[in-house]
Chains A and B, each alone.
Chain A
């Protein structure tokens, strides 16, 4: 009786989704400035090296970052009980950048891992304050929360910029604030597997996250540890955001677009929809990175810029479509 993820044709949709993701994955391996043909892989050891050192890490980074950011957006929307917030527009990413700045300042030789840890701590603080304030806004005004998030994120971002300017670290800040996969090589993206593990953790707690979205009173009535679950969600959002900002920079809109598209068609029972949101985010990340590599070949446009455009258009379509359907 329980509804399948996408109705009775669930299996067909799953097959189409998996095939799309696989096609994007393969395409991402073979798009780039270095000469590489599918047929040459077996014969040419240099081609294999290119794949293993650069293309495969880059493809995996886009896949992992895309899916993890989509889940971070989904979890943040669940925590805020608002469909229009995501880490990069509501202060989480900006707080993470501020954290890296602090770590860089007090410990210039810190490894990526330590920078990520520092970023996670400030992201956690920044997101907690955002949620605390957002929960005080009247629920009858759904657009107030994302607007407040924009202002809040803007203020933190401005503080980070000001500090970076004072410390002559502006060019570093630029790297963290602009999402880009071109710098990804073997040995420089592996932290993103931790973000991937957090996606699995989110899936494992999917039922509880769905209950969280029903609100505090319903959650407690059903015996959920509401505060504990809220904290776990905060950790997931903050850690994923911090890891992606440190490794590839800030990538906007994935966390907004992927969950909203999936919820439109399949609803918000996360046990069923969470894998779709993760897959949708991965596809979006891969597709936009491929577009960025092709649009002014042989030069590259950062994925953050592409997603800024694609994501904004997709999101407007979703917003307007919602009105005409309801």
Chain B
């Protein structure tokens, strides 16, 4: 369970987050949605201890993120930020392998190697394993970073717009993989999504943010509603049930 209580954040005089409180229950996929500048990425960074907490309290599995040793947190929570700007000349298998570092801290075990190989397979990277990441396309590199995050094997996985640069095949593959690890392995996924339909199709819960505050949260079907979406994004859109899935017709 991720518990966020009374978290505010101000950067350079402007208020980014305003007294945010919410609870992400253990297990399942929770989508964070909202317009640009809503504070989604900042909230994710605070949960993942990438940014110092200014006020309020955040705990993951009961561990306060600002005082728990970073090494310990790295075994229960993995974060992939939007465009981390990795420029090193590493081979794909080496980069993905660093996801295991919190567990082995130096020497890869046979189990680590199995997990790395499975992760490469999962994200369609086996053929690229020995390529240097600076020779990959943006989407391939993004998949390598996602595979590294998965490799960390944590109970909590935080992803900031991981579908950037991915084609439809790999975007669908990633969302289905997230769904599967949540259903079969009880993982907790907190994911910032740009495309509201990915949230509508795959998430168990949706947290909607605007102007640094949470404006709606709950079961996906309760948040993906025309009136709530209009209050968040500022224009009206239809929500239809297409072949058993909620679909937002935001171009209509």
**Which A residue sits closest to B49, measured CB to CB?**
A220
Within 8 A of A (CB), among B213-249: none
Q: Are the CB atoms of B88 and A2 closer together than 8 Å?
A: no
CA of A216 to CA of B70, assembled, Å: 13
- By a CB distance below 8 angstroms, the chain A residues around B135 are 326
Cβ distance A213 to chain B, nearest Cβ, rounded Å: 4
Q: Are the CB atoms of B50 and A223 closer together than 8 Å?
A: no
Cβ distance B142 to chain A, nearest Cβ, rounded Å: 13
**Which B residue sits closest to A207, measured CB to CB?**
B106
Q: Are the CB atoms of B97 and A223 closer together than 8 Å?
A: no
Asked, given contacts A81-B87, A207-B106, A215-B84, whether A222 binds B93 with beta carbons under 8 Å apart, the answer is no
A225 close to chain B: CB less than 8 A = yes
A10 close to chain B: CB less than 8 A = no
A3 close to chain B: CB less than 8 A = yes
- By a CB distance below 8 angstroms, the chain A residues around B80 are 221
Within 8 A of B (CB), among A86-116: none
Within 8 A of A (CB), among B31-76: 45, 48-50, 70-75
Cβ distance B48 to chain A, nearest Cβ, rounded Å: 6
Q: Chain A, interface size: which category?
A: 20 to 34
B162 close to chain A: CB less than 8 A = no
Task: Identify whether the interface residues of A are mostly helix, strand, loop, or mixed.
Answer: loop
Asked, given contacts A221-B50, A222-B101, whether A210 binds B90 with beta carbons under 8 Å apart, the answer is yes
B98 close to chain A: CB less than 8 A = yes
- By a CB distance below 8 angstroms, the chain B residues around A215 are 84-86
- By a CB distance below 8 angstroms, the chain B residues around A268 are 88-90
**Beta-carbon contacts of B97-130 to A below 8 Å, as 1s and 0s?**
1110110001010000100110000000000011
Q: Which of B70, B88, B91 contacts A213 (CB 8 A)?
A: B88
Task: Identify whether the interface residues of B are mostly helix, strand, loop, or mixed.
Answer: mixed
B78 close to chain A: CB less than 8 A = yes
Q: Which of A214, A216, A220, A326 contacts B98 (CB 8 A)?
A: A214
Q: Are the CB atoms of B84 and A2 closer together than 8 Å?
A: no
Q: Which of B74, B91, B113, B130 contacts A221 (CB 8 A)?
A: B74
A139 close to chain B: CB less than 8 A = yes
Q: Are the CB atoms of B88 and A210 closer together than 8 Å?
A: yes
**Beta-carbon contacts of A187-226 to B below 8 Å, as 1s and 0s?**
0000000000000000000010011011111101111110
Q: Are the CB atoms of A267 and B85 closer together than 8 Å?
A: no
CA of A221 to CA of B113, assembled, Å: 20
Q: Are the CB atoms of A221 and B85 closer together than 8 Å?
A: no
Asked, given contacts A218-B86, A221-B50, A221-B78, whether A267 binds B94 with beta carbons under 8 Å apart, the answer is yes
B152 close to chain A: CB less than 8 A = yes
Residue among A1, A3, A218, A225 having the largest count of chain B Cβ atoms under 10 Å: A218
Q: Are the CB atoms of A263 and B86 closer together than 8 Å?
A: no
Asked, given contacts A218-B86, A269-B90, A269-B91, whether A211 binds B98 with beta carbons under 8 Å apart, the answer is yes
Q: Are the CB atoms of A1 and B89 closer together than 8 Å?
A: no
Q: Are the CB atoms of B94 and A269 closer together than 8 Å?
A: yes
**Which B residue sits closest to A139, measured CB to CB?**
B85
Q: Are the CB atoms of B89 and A218 closer together than 8 Å?
A: no
Q: Are the CB atoms of A1 and B50 closer together than 8 Å?
A: no
Asked, given contacts A1-B116, A217-B50, A217-B79, whether A263 binds B129 with beta carbons under 8 Å apart, the answer is no
Q: Are the CB atoms of B89 and A267 closer together than 8 Å?
A: yes
- By a CB distance below 8 angstroms, the chain A residues around B90 are 210, 267-269
Q: Which of B72, B129, B132 contacts A1 (CB 8 A)?
A: B129
**Which B residue sits closest to A221, measured CB to CB?**
B79
- By a CB distance below 8 angstroms, the chain B residues around A214 are 84, 86, 88, 95, 98
- By a CB distance below 8 angstroms, the chain B residues around A224 are 70, 101
Within 8 A of A (CB), among B148-190: 152
Asked, given contacts A215-B86, A217-B79, whether A223 binds B94 with beta carbons under 8 Å apart, the answer is no
Q: Are the CB atoms of B91 and A3 closer together than 8 Å?
A: yes
CA of A1 to CA of B116, assembled, Å: 9
B210 close to chain A: CB less than 8 A = no
- By a CB distance below 8 angstroms, the chain A residues around B73 are 223
B205 close to chain A: CB less than 8 A = no
Cβ distance B67 to chain A, nearest Cβ, rounded Å: 15
Give A residues with C-beta under 8 Å from B: 1-3, 81, 139, 207, 210-211, 213-218, 220-225, 263, 267-269, 326
Beyond the given A214-B86, A268-B89, please list 17 additional residue pairs across the A-B interface where CB-CB is below 8 A. Answer: A1-B116, A3-B91, A3-B93, A3-B94, A3-B130, A207-B101, A213-B87, A218-B86, A220-B49, A221-B78, A222-B74, A223-B73, A223-B102, A263-B89, A267-B94, A269-B90, A269-B94
The 8 A-B pairs at the shortest CB distance, nearest first, are namely A223-B74, A223-B71, A268-B89, A221-B79, A213-B88, A223-B102, A267-B89, A269-B94
